[in-house]
Amino acid sequence: MLILTCPNCGIAADETDLAPGGEAHITRHGPEASDDEFEGYLFHKRNPKGVHFERWRHAFGCGKWFHAARDTATLEVFGTYPAQTLEPPKALQALIRKKRPDWEGFQK
């Protein structure tokens, strides 16, 4: 059972207090999108073995959504950060690069 620290309220929350929300930093595609773009938005999610950015909600806590960067294989958590951003904080990306030199880098 994971522990993630909610960046909004600062609580190190048990997984039972959290609700998962899948991959983070997905761009919403609306009525103007092509079929391919829309299909990608709805269905094509990354599922890497390694560094991954995820959405979580502190559902049984402050109720806020946040993002977590973690390694899906080792369960190491690199950091959590507020959901109101289009990409992970630069400092966090640098930290991940340092810990995982083979990481391909953040991709939109």
Partner 1 sequence: MSTRLADTGRLIDRTKPLEFRFNGKRFKGFAGDTLASALLANGQVLVGRSYKYHRPRGIIAAGPEEPNALVGLGREGRFEPNQRTTTTELFDGLYATSQNHWPSLEFDVGAVNRVMSRFFPAGFYYKTFMFPRFAWKHLFEPVVRQAAGLGKPPKHRDADRYEYFYYHSDIVVIGGGIAGLQAALQAGRAGVKVLLVEQTAHWGGRAPVDGAKIAGKPAADWVAGAVAELQAMDNVTLRNRTMGAGVYDHGYLTAYERLSDHAPEIPGPRHRLWRIRARRIITATGAIERPLAFAGNDVPGVMLAGAVRDYVTNFGVSPGDRTVIVTNNDDAYRTAIALKQAGLVVPAVIDARDSADGDLPARARKLGIRVDTGKAIARVSGNKKVEGVSICMQAGEGSALEEIKCDAVAMSGGWSPVVHLWSHCGGKLDWDRDHAMFRPDPNRPPTGADGAGFVIAAGTANGHLDTASVLADAHEAGRRAATETGGKPADDTAPQAAGEAAAPMLPVWQMPQGASKKLQMKAFLDYQNDVKVSDVRLAAQEGYESVEHTKRYTTLGMASDQGKLSNINGLAILADSLNADIPAVGTTTFRPPYQPISFGAIAGDARGDLFKPVRRTPIHDWLDANGAHWEPVADWRRPYTLQKPGESVKDAVRREILNTRQNVGLLDASTLGKIIVKGPDAGRFVDMLYTNMMSNLAIGKCRYGLMCSENGFLSDDGVVARLSEDTFLCHTTSGGSDRIHAWMEEWLQTEWWDWKVYTANVTEQWAQIGIVGPNARKVIEAMGVEGMDVSREAMPFMTFQDGSIAGITARAFRISFSGELSYEIAVPASQGRAFWDAALKAGAAHGIQPYGTEALHVMRAEKGFIMIGDETDGTVIPQDLGLHWAISKKKADFLGKRAQQRSFMRDENRKQLVGLATEDPAVVLPEAAHAIEGPKRDNGMENIIGHVTSTYYSPTLNRSIAMALIKGGSRRMGEVLSFPVGDGKVIRAKVVDPVFLDKDGERQNA
Which residues contact partner 1 (rule: CB under 8 A)?
1-3, 14-15, 19, 21, 28-31, 33, 35, 38, 42, 55, 57, 59, 63-65, 71, 74-77, 83-84, 99
- Nearest approach in angstroms of CB 50 to partner 1 is 13
Residue 2 vs 11, nearer CB to partner 1: 2
- Nearest approach in angstroms of CB 91 to partner 1 is 17
Q: Which among 2, 51, 62, 58 has a CA at the least distance from the CA of 25?
A: 51
Residue 3 vs 91, nearer CB to partner 1: 3
The size of the chain, in residues, is 108
The helix (H) or strand (E) run that includes residue 43 is helix 35-43
Q: Which residues of 40-58 are buried (b: 16+ CB within 10 A; e: fewer)?
A: eeeeeeeeeeebbbbbbbb
- Nearest approach in angstroms of CB 13 to partner 1 is 11
